[in-house]
Amino acid sequence: MRARALCLVALLVAVAIAPACSSSPSTVVVPPGGAGYGGRFVYPLRFEPLTLNFVTLSDQTSDYVARLVGDGLVDRDADLRLVPRLAESWDFTDGGRVLTLHLRGGVRFHDGAPFTSADVKYTYERVIDPKSRAIGRIDGFLPVERVETPDDLTVRVVYQHPYAPALAAWEVPILPRHLYEKDDFLTSRYNRAPVGTGPFRFVSWETGRRIVLASNPDYWGGRPFIDTFEFQLIPSQETTLQALLAGEIDYASLSPVQWKAHAQDPAFSRRFETVRYLPLFFLYIAWRGDGSTPYFADPRVRRAMTLALDRDGYVSTVLQGSGFVPDSVFHPAVLAPDPALPALHYDPVRTAALLDEAGWRIDPATGRRARAGVPFQFNLLIFSGSEDHVQFAQVAQESLRRLGIDMTIQRLDWPTLWSRLQKGDFQAAVSGLVAGVDPDDTAYGLLHSSQIKGGQNYAAFHDAQVDAWLEAGRRAVDPDERRSIYRLIDRRVAELQPYTFLFFPMTQAAMSRRVRDIRPSPRGIIAQYPGVLRLRVQ
């Protein structure tokens, strides 16, 4: 017993000493701040980043850190408008085929080295290098023919064809070439201790616990108001709320029920301010329409499915109204809603009529729908980790049951669900997608026939007309022309319904009233510019 106690003490001591050695916040020199400067902002993360390499990262968590430590050439403001960042200005020539970016002068990386066009070119090269596996970034650079650097502050990007969404890809934070060139790109130590030109310097990453950033006093855009930005890893949603209540974090997004429970409480609203926004994330059901099931190859059946699901009812009751039901592929902030687009509201009568028309009639003997002896029974795959998937599926199951359709639900973990989506080994599946700020980003992946194999067109949707429009949308440089192209796509998709777009769940967050001067964009409070740079803590 005594030996065990000794072991414990030794271990406790070892653990107690360890953090003192690993982090070294004292090395960051912060000049005495003026009015409104100082303070710490703590933001919860559910998932740990895998890498902080600006190029190879592929998850939202690491993207947040990268946007604070690094700078892209361009960014989006709180209203998703394009704003300059490391590029002061840009212009398109040669009918939209050549993009010339004029870089900001006098910018330095956190280690003091100057930022030049060579760093931009290096970042581009790392993205397209297959060895980097930069899957989250590569799509926007695939149409690039070459990148030229006529001088230190000019970058000329030549595309294979006029490419309208070109600037979206240049949000990638720029890597310090001089540091990365020295060792292996994938195992470089800067992947866990990134160096950029951004408003915050990296301080420490304590695995599984937190990532600490300190303000960059020499930032070209002016020093941020807060001194410390800390990400705390809290894997459980329930614990996140409790941590907010305990004052351990400054911001937490709440589930609708959590929200309902606390919004009425005056003590809660005295301490916390409401932050609401409609994020770019939406849920949809993909109906596998390639004929592998007898049901969903017929657009009438797919439209009937959409009409059978009470999306508005789900949003108003289960989500307590905090969500948006689209009939379009696009987030309202990405493409202004089309007033002429027909809405597909819940309508069991029209559903029944459409199903009858498609041959799926109620068998009087069983009360279930069937066609030529084949009963209408299918399996819906959902992701077991999402409350929205689980709850919506149960509601859908009940609605369909009343219409004479038997749907079973199968819960899968993410890799399994994904692998079955990719193989097309499913009949119907709920999935979610974070839309890009450019309409092409969402629509091309979901709808273009080239994306059926290996891409995101899980419904196996194949329509020559939509393919042609999608390609035209990529090349059209005129914004009005683009908008009308995407509206055409929307109408065609509403008619054919390869997917049912379920809803955009509204993010409702509570933020400590100590925090001022931040407004969420559809990408949240961090992924915008200047955003956090202007955030103040009292």
Q: Give min distance, CB of 93 to another protein, in A.
A: 26
What are the tokens at 86? 């490391």
CA distance 7 to 346: 65
Considering the complex, state which of residue 428 and residue 433 has its C-beta at the smaller distance from another protein. Answer: 433
Closer residue to another protein (CB): 111 or 206: 206
CB of 402 to another protein, least distance (A): 8
Q: Considering the complex, what minimum distance in angstroms separates the CB of residue 232 from another protein? A: 7
Closer residue to another protein in complex, CB, 104/474: 474
Task: Give the residue with the Cβ less far from another protein, 56 or 117.
Answer: 56
Rounded to the nearest whole angstrom, what is the least distance from the CB of residue 41 to another protein in the complex? 17
Question: What is the token pair recorded at 237?
Answer: 């949603």
- Nearest approach, Cβ of 421 to another protein (angstroms)? 10
Shortest Å, Cβ 293 to another protein: 17
Please report how close the Cβ of residue 425 comes to another protein at its closest, in angstroms.
9
Cite the DSSP H helix spans in 27-137.
60-69, 117-128
Nearest residue to 518 (alpha-carbon basis) of 43, 139, 4? 43
The residue (of 207 and 538) whose beta carbon lies closer to another protein is: 207
DSSP-derived 3-state class of residue 30? coil
Residue with tokens 């599946």: 429
Angstrom distance (rounded) from CA 230 to CA 228: 6
**Among residues 222 and 321, whose Cβ is nearest to another protein?**
321
**For residues 119 and 173, what is the distance between their CA atoms, to the nearest angstrom?**
10
Q: Cβ 302 to another protein, closest distance in Å?
A: 21
> What is the rounded CA–CA span in Å between residue 435 and residue 128?
22
- Give the Cα separation of 219 and 235 in Å (integer): 32
Residue with smaller CB distance to another protein, 100 or 237? 237
Our CB check for another protein shows the closer of 93 and 422 to be: 422
Check: CB of residue 197 under 8 Å from CB of residue 115. Answer: yes
DSSP 352: H
For 238, other C-beta atoms within 10 Å of its C-beta total 10
Nearest to 162 by CA among 57, 257, 92: 92
Pick between residue 399 and residue 512 the one whose CB is nearest to another protein. Answer: 399
At its nearest, how many Å lie between another protein and the CB of residue 397?
A: 6
Strand spans (E) along 329-443 = 361-362, 369-371, 374-375, 377-383, 406-412, 428-434
Distance CA 110, CA 213 (A): 12
State the DSSP H helix or E strand holding residue 151, giving kind and residue range, or none if neither. Answer: strand 144-151
End-to-end CA distance of the chain: 51
